[in-house]
Chains A and B, each alone.
Chain A
Amino acid sequence: MSSGAIETGATQIEVRQLSKVYPNGLRALDNVNVDIKKGEFVAIIGSSGAGKSTFIRSINRLVQPTSGTIKINGEIVTGNDLRHLRRDVAMIFQQFNLVKRLTVLRNVLMGRLGYKNGLGLIYPIFNSKDVDLALASLQRLGIAEKAYIRADQLSGGQQQRVAIARALTQEPSIMLADEPVASLDPETSIVVLDILKRINREDGITTVVNLHQLDLAKEYADRVIGFKGGKLVFEGTPDQVTREVYEKVYR
């Protein structure tokens, strides 16, 4: 994987003059410049509609930006060969987005789809290596015993853990999390963020998280980025998030 060549501390995601205007005229991102270093845990704060989700989704091109460039591992991201980009940039969602009618193991194996080529593009066959990897991810998140249960029978926190396991099975170098705890209770939120933080530390996976809760952002992040009205209004360490910053970002 190309990410292995990059040392911890080097810039891994380089966003330059990124703008996104939706067809209804909404300017969701306005000339955003951000550098995210390898192995960093970045939290993005901002009120609803500030452009947090659009920013995170334009990193793996679930949203097509209107202008600007994104460089990941030194390569400019284009619309071509999205599958290679996306298997290296894993993503977890607010609504977990598990395929509810499939088993947990099958869901986690979805993380291997990016590595299937040739006939595997028509009907992918998951070999024992894939299954071992998936089971190892589940083991790491402490839900290996649920592997053969249907995904819709799990609780919200467990579903989000399955989603993280799916992301881990991609063997990514970057993990994007779009409001991962917004539909969970405070206790489970902490469990999920602890897992993300642990993965970030142990595997050195660069993690970018959208968060509503300022206290969680201050506790877990190495760096906090604040968005307001599509513009980047704050960038700094958690200690620098003061009352003035709060006023600037949320008012």
Chain B
Amino acid sequence: MKKYIGNEDPVSHELETIEKRKLETPEAEPPMPTVPPYDPPVGLMNQFRRKWQEAGKPKYRNPVVAAVLQVVPGLGYVYMWRMAFAALTAFLFLLAYVILGLRILQYKPEVNARLATPVNPNPEPDLWNWSLLTPESITLLWVALALLAINLGFRTYHQARLNNLNLQVKSLAEIRKARGTFIQRVLTFNYLALIIFVFGILQVAKDSDFDLGRLISKLDNIKRYVGELLNPNWNALFTEKGIMFRARETVEISIIGTLAGAVVALLISFLAARNLMGRNPITNVAYYIVRIILSIQRSIPTLFLAIVFVVSVGVGPFPAVLALTIFSAGLMTKLFSEAIEAIDWGQVEAISAAGGGPVHVVLFAVIPQVLPYYISHILYSWEVNIHSASVLGLVGAGGIGQYVQDAINTYKYADIGMALFIVIVITMAIDFTSAYIRAKIL
């Protein structure tokens, strides 16, 4: 490498001047930072706080009293506030549970018997079936809305004040003051979120028949059936169209479904990758069309698809294969296209800079980069499909679900237990195998 001589080299010249400057100016002591004096704000809570702090000083002879009075301020008023809010939340949950609990106590198992009794001339008011249109409800609603409007006003005002504080550096005392007094902070609490949350939970619990009483009253049934399931019938394994036959069918359905889905997904995934399609207006339109179709497809449950195919092509493993193909094609297209979107774009640039066309780019820059991810995603989707394939038989689409369906209809719970055991063994085996292979290739 050529060396620079003297003034010609700008960099070393600059370094020299810097060195010189360093020698000339002695290092001055940096001034000590000034700490603003502590200026505690005046307020009810602050008075209490000061009392607690003073209480911590060792003027108490009794060690227990001193310890308590030292620990309480030691927790810090910030934590006190957090604890207060946590306690409030806990109380509201407790309230919700008490209401639910009352409902549990009200539960009467003899529904049919009650339906037979004549209608009560003076019915108790049903708190659960409240209506928004009764005069009481409307009054409450207006009151609530008014309170929320006032609350919103306070919150906006408070937020504006806090935002204003950011504009200029203030003293610690002013920043504290901007937080507001205790009452101001109570008024600025966001009640709307809390109210919606609590009422939402109550409504959801009601609509989903959340009822522990019913569970408890049916415990005997649960014990009996689980007992039968845990005592499997080993003789049902190798009969004609028995469990092993159906289990093999399930595995075969999942394999064919996954492979067919992978072929479809391999073709579509390039259209669903934004980095490949987003550069040109025409391909961009294709990208959005494919994305919309995919999101519609993903929102159809596999069981619905299976029902549709059972009705249209008939009972057997074939409708299950079709349903799984469509389901796993959607799943894999999403995974594949995300893998494509994560590629190193430099390699694409290099291929096109060498004169390669769009197909060349896909063949030599995209596929080599995404191939290990493809294999991994195909295995993952096989895992998902074996789960689905064991359920699809319940609607008549072959596999072990078909066996379970037949056994339920004939009350052979011991056979169901056996089938369940086999399903668990197969699924675990496939999960472990696929996880092992995926760890090897990635």
A binding-site residues for B, Cβ under 8 Å: 60, 62, 82-84, 86-87, 90-91, 93, 95, 97-102, 106, 110-111, 113-116, 121-124, 163, 166-167, 170, 186, 190, 215-216, 218-219, 242-243, 246-247
Does the CB pair A115–B355 fall under 8 Å?
yes
| Docked CA distance A99–B346 (Å) | 9
- Given the contacts A99-B368, A243-B10, A83 and B346 also touching, CB distance less than 8 Å: no
Name the residue on A nearest B355 (C-beta). Answer: A114
Taking the closest CB of chain B, its distance from the CB of A42, in whole angstroms, is 18
| Docked CA distance A164–B8 (Å) | 33
The CB with the most chain B CB atoms within 10 A, among A93, A163, A247, is that of A93
Q: Which residues of A contact B365 (CB under 8 A)?
A: 99
Does the CB pair B355–A87 fall under 8 Å?
yes
Grouping DSSP codes into helix (H, G, I), strand (E, B) and loop, the A interface class, with mixed when no group exceeds half, is helix
Q: Which residues of B contact A167 (CB under 8 A)?
A: 354
- Given the contacts A190-B1, A242-B8, A97 and B349 also touching, CB distance less than 8 Å: yes
- Given the contacts A101-B368, A186-B1, A215-B1, A84 and B346 also touching, CB distance less than 8 Å: no
| Docked CA distance A84–B355 (Å) | 7
Does the CB pair B1–A113 fall under 8 Å?
no
Taking the closest CB of chain B, its distance from the CB of A94, in whole angstroms, is 9
Q: Which residues of A contact B353 (CB under 8 A)?
A: 60, 62, 86, 90-91
Q: Which residues of B contact A83 (CB under 8 A)?
A: 355-357
**Is residue B359 within 8 Å, beta carbon to beta carbon, of the partner chain?**
yes
| Docked CA distance A91–B351 (Å) | 10
Q: List 18 A-B contacts (CB under 8 A).
A: A62-B349, A86-B355, A90-B354, A91-B353, A93-B346, A93-B349, A97-B347, A98-B350, A99-B369, A101-B369, A101-B371, A113-B355, A113-B357, A115-B355, A116-B357, A121-B357, A163-B350, A215-B2
| Docked CA distance A223–B349 (Å) | 28
**Is residue B352 within 8 Å, beta carbon to beta carbon, of the partner chain?**
yes
Does the CB pair B354–A121 fall under 8 Å?
no
Does the CB pair A215–B364 fall under 8 Å?
no
Q: Which residues of B contact A97 (CB under 8 A)?
A: 344, 346-347, 349-350
Name the residue on A nearest B7 (C-beta). Answer: A243
- Report B121-155 residues with CB < 8 Å from chain A CB: none
| Docked CA distance A86–B353 (Å) | 6
Name the residue on B nearest A85 (C-beta). Answer: B355
**Is residue B238 within 8 Å, beta carbon to beta carbon, of the partner chain?**
no
Name the residue on B nearest A245 (C-beta). Answer: B10
Name the residue on A nearest B13 (C-beta). Answer: A243
Name the residue on B nearest A213 (C-beta). Answer: B1
**Contact of A99 (CB < 8 Å), options: B4, B357, B364:** B364
